[in-house]
A = this chain, B = another copy of it.
């Protein structure tokens, strides 16, 4: 391992941290693998970049950022809390490399438009991350094995939360981990919003290792509170944006339609999704997966624009040309009206299976802070001068206000055309009028 230490550290220019520092050849070589370079071709925020046009950044920069924050945490831990005896609950710097590798690679199994793709094709980016790290066929695995034969497995364990040292696990995955700290800041920077900003330097300074993992000095309570609020606001304002969800609905229906056509034996050469075929067939290799990226999908979509299936070609165009569905909020009370609205849409000429959707931000992978749930990593604990731990929501009015409560909305998505005023064919007018009477103040209402 020592011979992997670089005599002089390398730097990569980064807009969030100015520089990212690398002083170990293992890290440098991991960055240079095809598997890691592929992350340049996978957008961090998927369809969100269609709303916040500045946010076209990829998972490549984010992965470097998580690495960099982890490196800084290790430096601070080693300086301020170095372990003197095994089991003293302080930081053992032999853990540094496994932490850095796990940080760098934690997202390496992500595919294009992950959430939607996984939903349709039953893939799982966390499993694939583990596979990339542990399969002897990958370049990443080869490099990790230079450290030791079981090093790839150790790195994978960190990612699956089964690694023995809870400090390492919590660095990469906990309520305040390097992953979240990077993406909140990075997404804020690229979207051009202020919400994701918090005092990273101060949070790192008040972090402390202990036998149970990582805690925070109570003097840093307001910095931690500010981080939780930033996260809440990023979800409300950016990640749950209704137009982004509308574009995801189109993407989902587009892939569903392609899947259905494929399974219906449409073999027209123009359809030609060679790189997708393994996924339609439900049987893909790691290499098949690693060939995919955002550009592969949009290239197929471009070819589908001309395919003689109206639904496929129209949805492909809507996605590429950014023609989102419209949406309105519904409640438990107005949910029973949805079938009628779907019927009206169908009558107006849109296949309602492909042109409507419901999407519940409550069910999105929302990152709520919920200390009541019995998982250790969902707790943020602060350490008092006398060594006692206190859970964050016990002392922060603001965090208590949002703990375990999910703010969000349920939306019904439908073609924008349903809201238009003047239709050419008068016979359809009553359909549109009826539909529009169900909508008031961006909500579904019962017009009667």
Residues of B within 8 A of A8 (CB): 80
Q: Would B401 and A407 count as touching, CB distance under 8 A? A: no
A34 interfacial by beta-carbon distance below 8 Å: yes
Please tell me which stretch of A9-17, A145-153, A342-350 contacts chain B, meaning at least 4 of its Cβ atoms lie within 8 angstroms of it. Answer: A9-17
A397 interfacial by beta-carbon distance below 8 Å: yes
Q: Would A50 and B40 count as touching, CB distance under 8 A? A: yes
> From residue A326, how far is it (CB to closest CB) to chain B in Å?
14
A194 interfacial by beta-carbon distance below 8 Å: yes
Identify the closest chain B residue to A290 (Cβ).
B302
A177 interfacial by beta-carbon distance below 8 Å: no
A365 interfacial by beta-carbon distance below 8 Å: no
Give Cα distance in the complex from A423 to B274, angstroms: 39
Residues of B within 8 A of A440 (CB): 386
| CB contact between A192 and one of B13, B229, B232 (< 8 Å): that residue | B13
A260 interfacial by beta-carbon distance below 8 Å: no
Identify the closest chain B residue to A38 (Cβ).
B320
Residues of B within 8 A of A33 (CB): 321
Identify the closest chain B residue to A322 (Cβ).
B37
A442 interfacial by beta-carbon distance below 8 Å: yes
Identify the closest chain B residue to A296 (Cβ).
B299
Residues of B within 8 A of A190 (CB): 15
Please tell me which stretch of A103-111, A197-205, A428-436 contacts chain B, meaning at least 4 of its Cβ atoms lie within 8 angstroms of it. Answer: A197-205
Q: Would A397 and B401 count as touching, CB distance under 8 A? A: yes
A354 interfacial by beta-carbon distance below 8 Å: no
Give Cα distance in the complex from A167 to B34, angstroms: 44
A231-251 interface (Cβ within 8 A of B):
232-233, 236-237
Give Cα distance in the complex from A53 to B294, angstroms: 17
Residues of B within 8 A of A14 (CB): 53-54, 192
Residues of B within 8 A of A192 (CB): 13-16, 18
| CB contact between A54 and one of B15, B296, B303 (< 8 Å): that residue | B15
> From residue A234, how far is it (CB to closest CB) to chain B in Å?
11
Q: Would B15 and A191 count as touching, CB distance under 8 A? A: yes
Give Cα distance in the complex from A197 to B188, angstroms: 13
| CB contact between A441 and one of B16, B53, B295, B386 (< 8 Å): that residue | B386
Contacts A275-B299, A397-B407 known; 8 new A-B pairs at CB < 8 A: A16-B54, A41-B295, A41-B298, A194-B226, A197-B197, A229-B398, A275-B302, A385-B442
